[in-house]
Homo-oligomer: A and B are copies of this chain.
Amino acid sequence: MSILVVGSVAFDDVTSPSGSMQNILGGAATYFALAASYFTKVRVVAVVGEDFGAEQEQVFHQHGIDTRGLERAKGKTFRWGGSYTDNLNEAKTNFTDLNVFETFQPRIPKEYEDTEFLFLANIQPTLQADVRRKMSRVRLTGCDTMNYWIKGALKELQETLKLVNVLLINDTEAKMLANETNLPRAANKVLAMGPQALVIKHGEYGATIFFREGAFGIGRHPFRAPTLPIDEVKDPTGAGDSFAGGFMGYLASQEELSREVLKRALFYGGVMGSFAVERFGTERLQSLTREEIDERFQIFRELTHLE
C-alpha cells in the first residue's frame, strides 16, 4: 500500500563532534520518505524553492518516491542550521530560514487521493488537520509535532490529535503535552486527547508504544523496542523522522494491524533511526539495502530476546 508524507524538505548545515557539513539535503519529509521507501510506495507533499535542482529530486526518484506533490515556489528552499555538542540528543539551532516553507499550503495531487496511509510530519497543526480531512480514503494516520506547537498552538494541536491514529513524539514532548512528569501517566493523558496509539521515542534507549483501551483490538499492554548502542553517532538530525518512516512504512507494507505487526513496526522504526545517525544528513538512508535493514532488525531482536 502507499503512504503519503506531508512535511518539510530542507537544506541543512550541521555541525557535530564528528565534523561539519553544509547545504545537505534534509527536512522531515525527506528523512521520512527515504526511510519508508524501503518498505512501501511513498508519495510526498512538500514545497521547495528555485535552489532545489534535479540532483536533489533524483535522490527521491532513485528510491521510487513519487514527487508529483513536490511544489516548486519562487524563492529559496527552507534552510536550517544546527550544532550538536556532547549531548547528541539536543540540537542547538543556529538559524532557521523558513523561506518558501513559511507560506506552505499543502496541495494534494488528484493522483494521491487513494492513499491509505498518511504521515503528518511536524508542521503547523491546522495544516496537519486540513490535510487529514482532505484524505478521505486514509486508513491510518501518523503524526509528529514539537515543543513549538505544544507551547504556541496547543488548541489547534488538540484538534489535530482527534483526527490521528498514532502520535510519534519524544519523552520531553510527551511530558510537556500532558503537563505531567511521569511517563505512563503522560501517555494516558495524551491518548485521552485522541490518538489510539502513542509512540514515545527515548533516543538512544529505544521507544515505547502505548495503546488506548480497545485500540486496534489488540489489548492495552505497552510494548518497548530497543535501539542498538552505537559507537559513533555522526549526525542525529532526522533520527525521529527516519524512525517514523520505518514505523509507518512497515505498517503500510502489511495486510493487517495486529499486535505483532505494530511491535515489528516499532523495531523497524528503531532500525531506520539507528542507520540515519551513522552518517551526515541522509547519506546512510540513501545507500541501504533491505538485507542490511533486516540484518539489523535481527540484531535489535537479539538485543532483548529471551529464549
Question: A: which residues have CB within 8 A of B?
Answer: 86-87, 181-185, 187, 202, 204-206, 208, 210, 221-226, 229-233, 260, 263-264, 267, 299, 301-307
Contacts and interface: CB of A to CB of B under 8 A. Distances in A.
Point out which of A299, A304, A306 has the most chain B C-beta atoms below 10 A from its C-beta. Answer: A304
Contacts of A208: 229
Contacts of A307: 260
A36 B156 CA distance: 51
Contacts of A267: 306
Interface residues of A: mostly helix, strand, loop or mixed? mixed
Contact of A306 (B206, B229, B305): B305
B306 A226 contact: no
Contact of A224 (B86, B230, B263, B304): B304
Contacts of A232: 182, 185
A268 to B, nearest CB: 11
Nearest to A264: B306
Contacts of A304: 223-226, 304-305
